[in-house]
A = this chain, B = another copy of it.
């Protein structure tokens, strides 16, 4: 099917074609498409092929491409597939394939607004039990709307960026007043992030059925969390400094077009949501509110400590998008929303150390025999994810890596 010499199960095969922003040896940042163990320099390839779209590919972020909207995204994917499968283009394309070992990857988007949802019932239930032990774990609104809040766009960083342990206020239960210092409960949240394009105008909600016009693609997202800062600050207006020090995303944006075979029904919503959040059958037999069968792995200093499954999420990405705009809020090119921590019913599918250690009460043992509750300085967390592609192929989302540096 392609003249590229790739094993059928390569995570970056011909059915994937994720977009990122790369540079080589200090050259200008530009758009690349991952193919096997190479990055296609799209601008160079397009220009040699006589296309006039060079400026979009020479940009230092995907935002100009995101602005072009759904029809352009579809056309670009068709063009790329043609370039990589038709032997006639081989010579031209091969001239612009850069080995992945030679590139530096950058933040793929200029993040406009960043919203983080809370769409896993298991995660919300676990957190509710720990943070609010005297109440029902799920708040009364939880099954009626995908709860979300805005995060700090300016501290979204690309995978590989070191994470400095944040300082802040926390109030240990044994102390009468808060103390200041480095967070003692530094945690991760294993999530997926959804990248938006096709900006809208103020006052015009996006209907659930039209979410696909704006959902461009998916990244792996680590919503680093300082649980002690968060617990002290979050009532009544929500998380702030406990989250705003850093959010890491993987460099490759896997398009929704590459995830057609990964669509799955949601686990089930009861009560049925209000009409604007209700999925309807699509022409191809799926639903406008499909889930995604994406499997994550959480690696802590090299030991896989959890395998969160995105198919366990209660709310779908399209539902989150429809909810986010139902009040007329605009979408901008480069908006990003996180799913919230992905946790399932089983302990080994929990996507945060808060849950894996049950708020520090249980230890997680790593391969070297060391034990952990929360993150220690020098620890490295690697999140990876894969999804089923067409014809038994695999769609890889790559990895999202971060290492913890001591507080300054």
Contact = CB atoms under 8 A, between A and B. Distances in A.
B150 A151 contact: yes
A181 to B, nearest CB: 10
Given A237-B239, A329-B244, A152 B153 contact: no
A234 B236 contact: yes
Interface stretch (A165-173, A285-293, A371-379): A165-173
A: contact size bracket: 35 or more
Contact of A241 (B180, B326, B330): B326
Nearest to A165: B328
B328 A245 contact: yes
A152 B155 contact: no
A174 interface: no
Interface string A69-86: 000000000000000000
Interface stretch (A47-55, A213-221, A269-277, A297-305): A269-277
A407 to B, nearest CB: 9
A248 B204 CA distance: 18
Interface string A143-169: 011011111111101000100101111
8 nearest A-B pairs in the assembled complex, by CB-CB distance: A238-B238, A166-B327, A150-B150, A164-B203, A149-B237, A245-B327, A237-B238, A241-B327
Given A128-B236, A178-B274, 5 more contacts: A141-B171, A149-B239, A164-B328, A226-B327, A235-B236
